[in-house]
Amino acid sequence: MLPRSAIETREELAGGASVEEYVLSLLERIRREDPKINSFITICDGPAIEAAKALDRKRREGGKLGPLFGLAVAVKDNICTKGVRTTCGSRMLEGFVPPYDATVIRRLKGADAIVIGKTNMDEFAMGSSTENSYFGPTRNPLDPERVAGGSSGGSAAAVASAFAPLALGSDTGGSVRCPASFCSIVGLKPTYGTVSRYGLISYANSLEQIGPMASNIGDCELLFDVIRGYDPRDNTSLPQKRVEIGEGGLRIGVPKEFFMEGVQEAVEKCVRDFLDKMGSLVEVEEISLPSLAYALPTYYIIAMSEASSNLARYDGIRYGLRGEDGSDWNETYCNNRGMGFGQEVKRRIILGTYALSAGYRNRYYIRAQKIRTLIREDFERAFKEFDLIAGPTMPVLPFRIGEKLDPVEVYMCDIETVPANLAGIPAISVPCGMSQGLPVGLQLMAPPFGEELLFRAGRIVEELA
Instruction: Please name the residues in contact with 21: beta carbons below 8 A apart, sequence gap of 6 or more.
Output: 1
Phi/psi for 54 (5° steps) reads -65, -40
Q: Is 287 strand, coil or helix?
A: strand
Angstrom CA distances, 73 to 79, 196, 277, stand at: 13, 17, 34
Confirm if 168 and 104 have CB atoms less than 8 A apart.
yes
**Nearest Cα to 233, choosing from 269, 281, 200, 264?**
200
DSSP per residue, 346-373: HHHHHHHHHHHSTTTTIIIIIHHHHHHH
CB atoms within 10 A of CB 65: 16
Report the C-alpha gap between 410 and 182 in whole angstroms: 14
CA–CA gap between residue 227 and residue 75 (Å, rounded): 13
Comparing CA positions, the residue from 119, 133, 149, 416 lying closest to residue 296 is 416
- Residues with catalytic function: 76, 151, 175
Cα–Cα distance measured from residue 400 to residue 398, given in angstroms and rounded to the nearest whole number: 7
390 forms beta bridges with 444
Burial (CB < 10 A; 0-12, 13-18, 19+), residue 335, is middle
Nearest to 410 by CA among 128, 80, 125: 128
